[in-house]
Structure 1
């Protein structure tokens, strides 16, 4: 699957290294590793943004998508101790929590179209507990599509209970699962997997394998990249290219979500990456991931203002209302823990774009002209 040829006028570029990138984009040629680095290293932020915006417009015009969704963490108890995580707790820790399926159902309002479920790798919950959560939501809130359990969690079901990923996904789908979130990818780097102490969770090969299995079962999914900590620019590009390679094979990814590291209490770096860096990553992602339908500006981590700006830098999705998001906010994200539909619509309109309400699978619910 190649890039789409862009029929557009020349863009103004101050950085001469971007000229061959734009020529490739216009010709429908794929960007390589060197092109990705040029995009991430450039100081010509506006030129980079213009290129990414042209690609975005060729794919989705001036539409920007959002969904009315509820973010649910069934538990924050976790056997892992990832260096970048402020969310996880051990049994007996202050702030540790576990929710029953019945409690989770009561969290979901009738107008919710997507339930987004991710959580800690619980030391004791059997796999049947996760099936029960999905089944309860599907039975009690049939209007809500369920996006649940990262590849890291699916891998953990194998490590803890020896349930193969294919079996786990088939059983979860039978219970009511519609799609998978893209979390747990972190950054595809063996160096960082060791340095940041997440060797006990799915590495790059395993994460990609599980999404390949999901796509083979017609379960669509998202993809993410955690950036702004101690990764190199080359590692970011490596990550994007591996995602693009799997998308060539399966065409199963719906959207790519760059996740801006929140310093919180883990303090891998002294300060959070700047809004300029966030826009640079969004734009580069749109240019490199030519076979991904959508690139998201995740307002929870970027902030509302930067997310709105990113809609002119290649992003065509802002996720959704995300009521009660906890993972980023455990790391002291400054964004609110959820937005109303009206606030999302205003954020999109402030960028000069047309808000389009969708469901979890990008079926259009309403165009907010």
Structure 2
């Protein structure tokens, strides 16, 4: 196996396998990856225009009981600084965002065991009714799994209720790295890789669109990255429900991992991940960069 053989295979519109992907990730130079990724980008989207979304990212609660070691956001019930906003308060925030030209609300929060399922449904219903100019892109897989737990409903019924309320897409947060070896170390209470994939699969069956995400730069290795991309590529083959892939790097500041992983992943690594994922995820129309997570210069 050589890099030139892999490049030729990709340019012939043939899918590379896991082993070829791993070899490419480990051995290709950034500029070569970028050139190849750019070719693919223009095959899929010939228009040279790059699009973007005007969105807002509010949180309705920071109460959470799953203790992810990479998270600087959560608070336990009763701790100083905890908050849970009412549906009224959140809808008002959405209205304020809409006045500023925001078109999408990416709404997420902690996994708060005190919130009933109807809270989440009402959030969708009232957003659709009272702020029709914004698109509700609500709730990560972890929150949806919690809805199923507190309601006693099946996952498919929870998703169907959200769909019937007017929600059409869900964010890809909560994936981190879809490697149970890593998940056991960084988010052991958050569920397995299969849990995340199952929520997405059930959502796509109903008709939801979603993003797929990946957080790297912590305890993962190259094999874990390939595992992650492989399983989302396989799921995309089933339902074509993912609209974009969105990677971002772990930020250790103010997290329990800060002393263990004190350094940030480099901009070069981010560009490598963006380019490589564009090559490997041959069934994704879009790879989304983020200046919000990586800074404007890199993103």
TM bracket (short chain): over 0.9
Question: CA-to-partner distance for each residue in 1:18-64, whole Å, 9 max, x for gaps?
Answer: 21221111111111112222332236111111001111111113221
Per the normalisation by structure 1, the TM-score is 0.76
Partner of 2:67: 81
SS at match of 2:52: strand
Partner of 1:256: 245
Partner of 2:262: 270
Spell out structure 1 runs of 4+ moving beyond 6 A: none
Question: CA-to-partner distance for each residue in 1:87-127, whole Å, 9 max, x for gaps?
Answer: 11112323322111111111123332211111100120101
Following TM superposition, by how much is the alpha carbon of 1:155 offset from its aligned partner in structure 2, in angstroms?
Answer: 1.2
* Structure with greater helix share of residues: 2
- Could you tell which deviates more after superposition, 248-257 or 102-111? 102-111
Matched, 1:177 2:167: yes
Matched, 1:223 2:209: no
Question: CA-to-partner distance for each residue in 1:229-263, whole Å, 9 max, x for gaps?
Answer: 01010000010010000000111110000121111
* Structure with greater strand share of residues: 1
SS at match of 2:75: coil
Unmatched runs of 5 consecutive residues or more in structure 1: 1-15, 308-369
Partner of 2:281: 289
Partner of 1:31: 16
Following TM superposition, by how much is the alpha carbon of 1:289 offset from its aligned partner in structure 2, in angstroms?
Answer: 0.3
Partner of 2:293: 301
8 Å CA contact 1:257–1:296 kept in 2: the answer is yes
Counterpart CA distance in 1 for 2:250 and 2:21 is 20
Partner of 1:63: 49
Matched, 1:127 2:127: no
Partner of 2:25: 40
Question: CA-to-partner distance for each residue in 1:126-170, whole Å, 9 max, x for gaps?
Answer: 011111111121111012111111112111222333222111111
Kindly report the root-mean-square deviation, in angstroms, between the aligned alpha carbons of the 2 structures: 1.5
After TM superposition, list the pairs within 5 Å mapping 1:152-167 onto structure 2.
152-167=142-157
Q: How many residues align?
A: 291
Unmatched runs of 5 consecutive residues or more in structure 2: none
8 Å CA contact 1:151–1:202 kept in 2: the answer is no
Per the normalisation by structure 2, the TM-score is 0.93
Partner of 2:105: 115
SS at match of 2:169: strand
Counterpart CA distance in 1 for 2:91 and 2:272 is 39
